[in-house]
Chain A
């Protein structure tokens, strides 16, 4: 009986009730918004979403379908977001906000034909390389962990490079493995290329 009285008192005092209701509403709202937001986030983190734009579907997606990350002996695939979108939350949000310029790019038709795509490829590729170089190829390492590479299973050329420049940290995956998922732009002037 005492408890009910207390609740009534609280509710009948405007300022206290205000705080309580705001908090309660805020809390449920937060849960709903948060859940919705994260659902939206994970919906935009699928290959179907990426290839929903013909700019992605007609160019990079077609090229990627011929590579080892699409089809291989073990049937494990790496999809677009696996390589392009960070896994942890903070980096993901930052990347997503940066990627909203792609919507603008679609509206303005910056790469809406194959020719335009090819002309624009080098600047896009260079931004991706810079990003991967900057985070020590974090997305590659989500799947490929240097610690667990079995050199006795790798080819002699792989072992030579992995046990030296990679092991010492002098170079990172993307320094040596450019163009593994898509066609390359003109590589004149890019380090390590003829």
Chain B
């Protein structure tokens, strides 16, 4: 008898636990986030795959000291201890031949403002600051305008 009772109680507990799991309430209160208005407990369909745009003209900068955006594909470009693909075009030695913009002198400075004879370790991993763009629409609206002196005609 005792055994049957325990079993029944356990079963009851398990059943109510299951019921609770399926009944998690989800109500985003009509708030739209970056994942749209999908409820938490619903898996939203994935967005369409975005593509990196091939080569194009350098993009306008929005503020002074902005790291410029990379206006070309970087697929397969490795930057590691052994090799730096970016510098094989953007290094001062090769920039003229390849038509790439030279890295600016700030890339040779340490954080204490000392100028080194080669690219500073803190500017070695280019993609920490420079990134390519995809053909996606901005996720949120933005009416930021660059200062007049940076606006290209």
Show the binding face of A for B, using Cβ within 8 Å: 67-68, 155-158, 160-161, 179-180, 183-187, 192-194
Contacts and interface: CB of A to CB of B under 8 A. Distances in A.
A28 to B, nearest CB: 52
B33 interface: no
A193 B119 CA distance: 14
Contact of B55 (A156, A185, A187): A156
13 contacts: A68-B76, A155-B54, A157-B72, A161-B98, A179-B78, A183-B82, A184-B82, A192-B88, A193-B83, A194-B83, A194-B84, A194-B88, A194-B91
B75 A68 contact: yes
B87 interface: yes
A193 B84 CA distance: 8
A68 B74 CA distance: 13
A155 B82 contact: no
A180 B55 contact: no
B133 interface: no
Dominant SS among interface residues on chain B: loop
B74 to A, nearest CB: 11
B45 interface: no
B94 interface: yes
Interface residues of B, number: 21
Interface of B: 54-56, 72-73, 75-76, 78, 81-85, 87-88, 91, 93-94, 98-99, 119
Nearest to B86: A194
Contacts of B119: 194
A76 to B, nearest CB: 17
A179 B83 CA distance: 10
Contacts of A179: 78, 83, 85
A157 B97 CA distance: 11
A160 B99 contact: yes
B99 A187 contact: no
B87 A155 contact: no
Nearest to B55: A155
Given A180-B76, A184-B78, A194-B88, A157 B83 contact: no
